[in-house]
Structure 1
Amino acid sequence: MKRLGFSKGKSESYKQQYLNLHPLISQQGRLALNFKGVPYKTEWVEYPDLALKFKALGIPPNPESPYKFADYTSPTVRFADGSYTMDSQPIAEKLEATYPEPSLHLETGLHDEALEITFELMWLIFPDVLHLLPKKILNEPSASWFAEDRKRRFGMTLDEMAELKGGEKAWPAVVQSMERLRQFLTVRKRDEGPFIMGSTPCYGDLCVVALFESLQTVSVEMYEKVVAFCREFGDLHEADHLIETYLQERNRDFSELEQEAEADVTIADVVLYRFLEFIEHCNGVDLCIGSKEKTRDVYGHEVIESSPKLSDFLRSFGTRESARSDLVKGEEPGESARVAMQTWAQGVL
């Protein structure tokens, strides 16, 4: 769940490949990969290309389940053994079997209840946020495809759905669902920690955090409204540093990340490249604990500054283009940039 992910970007030496659409529907799988500390690279796939691409790769369609929305969905992971796993929960199960430590504690079954509750809450909130995806998040041709597909599925445009089913008239049901989530986050605690089980994080926590992150990516206004409902929501979403501490206490060794890199690539390069890639994909919203003040990212979008190092980063490098280097292509930053990178990375790590 470390937001910087410790990925070498597009280096082929990392065999895990993350086939992704956009941040809203991919957070659970990405959080699970980051929680496990598994290096990976991301390949972004547009909506109209998804089914054709996955069929060409020989990926079987999703099995029938209460949560099935389509035959082919994002995220999908290509593992080091060449196999593909589609959808967040099967990805989590494969990760747990392949990388047992740190544990997602799937044996508790808490993620099943977390998924049920967050799906309920998500669908109640959808009328107010779904219409924003093609307007401010998706590229073309995904934006047009998404709008038409949801119009076909729902029998109305996303704007019509927002007008008919969103707003204040939907809020009583949202409040009831949020109260159910609040109770879920409190009744199974073993101590005073912020996670479902107290001080020990599990995959159920990632399922809930994924909802918060998705909301913050698409609608800061809705995110703030939801998180303000109770202290437990904010505590869980701001607990990244505690997860990091938990991993350190479990003696999780991240030193292999530097060892696996090419000889001329430092850990600062790895961290910076991953951070820049995250900014590019998520409009600058890095969701580490931070000031929570409104600011603007490198694209000019208004965001909540959740990363304590985001402002320092923007001051140091100005724009994404001014610092980005494609290490695979042999592009390297200048010496002054390298010094700044190393200083910045040490502050993050």
Structure 2
Amino acid sequence: MKSKPIIFYDLAGRVNKCYSNNTWKIRLVLNYKAVPYEVVHTEYPDIKDLLVSKGVKPNVIDEYTWFPFTLPAVTLPDGSTVQNSRAIVDELERLFPSPSMRLDNGYTERAIRLAHDLMMGLGADNCYRLYSRTYNPRTTTHFNNVYAPFFKVSSLSELADSPLVWDGAWASAQDALKKIKELLSENPEGPFVEGTTFSYADCLIGGVWQWLRVPNPEMFQRVMSYDELFRKHQEALAPYLERDG
């Protein structure tokens, strides 16, 4: 009997192209492994009800996971549904071990930290672009209610003229950019984190590139111009970025 395809739950948008760093992490894994999958696009306010209906237990909240129910999530061929990127990639490695994502190569945890730090640095700028350019009305309202307090504004629209965006965000991201350059420099044969070998660390960094590229091409180009290693890394991911909707 033919195995059922994986169901991959991604965020909906005005155009259903993947723009989330978190969902891109898993898309890159699926695309690299050439695993068949179907996509279900979901609005932010519907994530909890969707996952509860699938029997998913809440996330453990920590520095990197802020909400009990999040995307990406996948329904596996056996019918079970899993959320949280690391839990998902562990399951994909178990079910589809080749090619390996090399989770134990010594770079995964560093890439998690650096991707997080870059997103925090550029967060105000990119949240404003996501809010103003990407989401459908229901998600726009939900996203504003969740994230406006984080930036101490009543509406994310106020960020348009805030010192937190563009040059302010760029300044805040400098340490993370420097450390990502150092990471990509460690194996100069490149273009991947581990040199010529693709791994989950590349999905983590590449997810942030895509989080910028889709809603915020201006900042994406600014980041790519920081160092040629960034553009070479992004270009090397191209075969695994083709399926984005």
Q: TM-score, normalised by structure 2?
A: 0.88
Is 1:203 the counterpart of 2:193? The answer is: no
Any idea what SS the aligned residue of 2:214 has?
helix
Q: Does 1:24 align with 2:14?
A: no
Taking the TM superposition and a 5 Å limit, the aligned residue runs for 1:55-74 are 55-74=52-71
Is the counterpart of residue 88 in structure 1 residue 78 in structure 2? Answer: no
**Offset at 1:161?**
4.1
8 Å contact kept, 1:29–1:87 = no
Closer, same or farther: CA 161–38 of 1 in aligned 2, 3 Å: same
Q: How far, CA to CA, are the matches of 2:238 and 2:163 in structure 1?
A: 40
Higher RCO (CA-CA < 8 Å; seq separation 6+) = 2
Task: Give the letter aligned to residue 19 of structure 2.
Answer: L
Unaligned runs of 5+ in 1: 1-11, 245-273, 282-349
2:138 is the counterpart of 1:141? yes
SS of 2:173's equivalent in the other structure is helix
CA distance in structure 2 between the aligned counterparts of 1:21 and 1:88, rounded to whole angstroms: 14
Deviates more, 1:93-102 or 1:165-174: 165-174
Residue 20 to residue 118, structure 1, CA distance change in 2 (3 Å): same
**Using the alignment, how far apart are the partners of 1:205 and 1:222 within structure 2?**
20
Hey, what's the Cα distance between the residues in 1 that align with 2:127 and 2:89?
26
* Structure 2 residue 89 is the aligned partner of structure 1 residue 99: no
Task: Quote the Cα distance in structure 1 between the aligned partners of 2:47 and 2:212.
Answer: 23
Describe how 1:1-349 pairs up with structure 2 within 5 A. 14-22=4-12, 23-25=18-20, 26-156=23-153, 157-161=155-159, 163-187=162-186, 189=187, 192-240=189-237, 278=244, 281=245
Amino acid at match of 2:156: L
For residues 145-201 of structure 1, give each alpha carbon's deviation from its aligned partner in whole angstroms, at most 9, with x where no partner exists.
Answer: 1112212444313233450422323433322220111001112x1x61201111111
C-alpha distance in 2 between matches for 1:140 and 1:168:
28
Hey, what's the Cα distance between the residues in 2 that align with 1:243 and 1:52? 30
Runs of 4 or more above 6 Å deviation: 241-244
CA contact (8 A) 1:29 1:88 kept: yes
Q: Structure 2 stretches of 5 or more lacking a match?
A: 13-17
- Would the alpha carbon gap of residues 116 and 230 (structure 1) be closer, same or farther in structure 2, given more than 3 Å must change? same
**CA 1:47/1:169 → structure 2, altered by over 3 Å: closer, same or farther?**
closer
Q: Give the C-alpha shift of residue 241 in structure 1.
A: 6.2
Q: Secondary structure at the match of 1:141?
A: helix
Q: Distance in 1 between matches of 2:3 and 2:93?
A: 22
User: Matches of 2:24 and 2:237 in 1, distance apart?
Assistant: 14
**Residue 201 of structure 1 contacts residue 243 of structure 1 at CA under 8 Å; is this kept in 2?**
no
Q: How far apart are residue 206 of structure 1 and its match? A: 1.1
Kept in 1, the 8 Å contact 2:6–2:76? The answer is yes
Q: CA RMSD in A?
A: 2.2
Q: Give distance in 2, aligned partners of 1:66 and 1:152.
A: 18
Alpha-carbon offset, residue 224 of structure 1: 0.3
Alpha-carbon distance in 2 for matches of 1:237, 1:146: 28
Code of the residue aligned with 1:171 in structure 2: it is W
What amino acid is the match of 1:199?
T
The residue matched to 1:184 in structure 2 has which SS?
A: helix
Percent of residue pairs identical: 26
The residue matched to 1:24 in structure 2 has which SS?
A: coil
CA shift, 1:19, in A, is 1.2
2:62 and 2:106 map into 1 onto residues whose CA distance is 17
SS at match of 1:19: strand
Shift in alpha-carbon separation, 1:145–1:242, aligned structure 2, 3 A: closer
